[in-house]
Amino acid sequence: MRLIFIGDVIGKAGRRAISSQLPVLKDTFQPDLVVVNGENAAGGFGITEKIFDEFIDAGADVVTLGNHAFDQREALVFIERVDGLLRPANYPPGTPGKGAGVFTTENGQQVLVMNVMGQVMMNPLDDPFVAVERELAACPLGVACDAIIIDMHAEATSEKMAMGHFVDGRASLVVGTHTHIPTADHQILPGGTAYQTDAGMTASYDSVIGMDKEEPLNRFLSKVPTGRFTPALDEATMCGIAIITDDKTGLAVEIAPIRMGGRLQPVLPDF
């Protein structure tokens, strides 16, 4: 199976990149399933139903979230009625929406996608390792599904790496989001799970992690806020990861980074 994960889409520039670049990538790579992290899509903070629909129209099958999941209040409502929108699975019981789902590809294969949020330097939620274990027990790889993608939305690289090793051999892909910079450690772990500490952001890289440079610089230099953070508007680079799994085991056999458009050096899968 051919799977794509696209990192945090930030603001209008990121949305433009999804609309223009994702269809091209799909034509080239022919993925069976595409997952996009959209938690920063609405002005850098949260997601709206209109934006969710735009991502689906551009070719996404699933949209994951993170610590900004409900910054746009309408998300509390529409997350209950749309398919393919996931908030972190380790939110407390009773939180609107769901943190994991099984999605069927055009070929009839079943892919479990889950979204969890780290605890280190993040808003306190339930233990993400317990949440992941619960979902894996309910839908084990090779038994109840053909592939498993885990979006580990976390600040600490150590926590992301620990999650990769925790599920090695039991998931197809563990990919980190939230820190917005693509890491150079894409690999297949010893047990067969594809891993990258951070997929990077789909946003302008002439920025401070996707935001217009002026206000972040001001806060570092003066320590006094003078305005809101707003997303940078220059051309975005769409960043992510592509993998191929073994249809018999669901484990990864190929992994490659994705970078399209904008300032970063372009990279596309060659398999």
* Band (168; pLDDT cuts 50, 70, 90): very high
Confidence of residue 221 (pLDDT cuts 50, 70, 90): very high
Beta bridge partners of residue 211, listed in sequence order? 208, 231
Do you know the residue count of the chain?
Answer: 271
**Confidence band of 225 (pLDDT split at 50, 70, 90):** very high
Backbone phi, psi, residue 210, to 5°: 100, -15
CA distance linking residue 2 with residue 246, whole number of Å? 9
Q: Write down the H helix ranges in 30-84.
A: 49-58, 75-78
Is the pTM higher than 0.85? yes
Give the start-end residues of each E strand in the chain.
Answer: 2-6, 33-37, 62-64, 85-86, 100-104, 110-117, 147-153, 173-177, 187-188, 194-196, 238-245, 252-260
Which pair of tokens denotes residue 90?
């380790």
* Whether the Cβ atoms of residue 157 and residue 184 lie closer than 8 Å to each other: no
The C-alpha angle with vertex 146 and arms to 141 and 151, in degrees rounded to 5, equals 70
Tens of pLDDT, residues 11-29: 999 999 999 999 999 999 9
pLDDT for res 189:
98
Angle, helices 11-29 vs 49-58, to 10°: value is 20
The position carrying tokens 């992301």 is: 160
pLDDT at residue number 79:
98
Q: How far apart are CA 221 and CA 106, in angstroms?
A: 52
Measured distance CA(14)–CA(88) in Å, rounded: 21
Domain range annotation of the chain: 2-260
Predicted confidence at residue 132, as pLDDT, reads 98
Q: pLDDT tens digits for 49-90?
A: 999 999 999 999 999 999 999 999 999 999 999 999 999 999
Q: What is the pLDDT of residue 242?
A: 98
180 catalytic residue (yes or no): no
Give residue 232's pLDDT band: very low, low, confident or very high (50, 70, 90). very high
If phi > 0 it is left, if psi is from -120 to 50 it is alpha, else beta; for residue 214 that is: alpha
Contacts of 54 (CB under 8 A, 6+ apart): 15, 18, 19
3-state secondary structure of 234: coil
Q: How confident is the model at residue 243 (pLDDT cuts 50, 70, 90)?
A: very high
Q: Which CATH number does 2-260 carry? A: 3.60.21.10
Q: What pLDDT sits at residue 17?
A: 98
**Residue 194 pLDDT:** 98
Torsion, Cα 192 198 201 202, to 10 degrees, reads -10
Q: Tell me the average pLDDT of the chain.
A: 97
Cα–Cα distance between 80 and 136 in angstroms, integer? 23
Confidence of residue 108 (pLDDT cuts 50, 70, 90): very high
In this structure, how many other beta carbons lie within 10 angstroms of the beta carbon of residue 271? Answer: 11
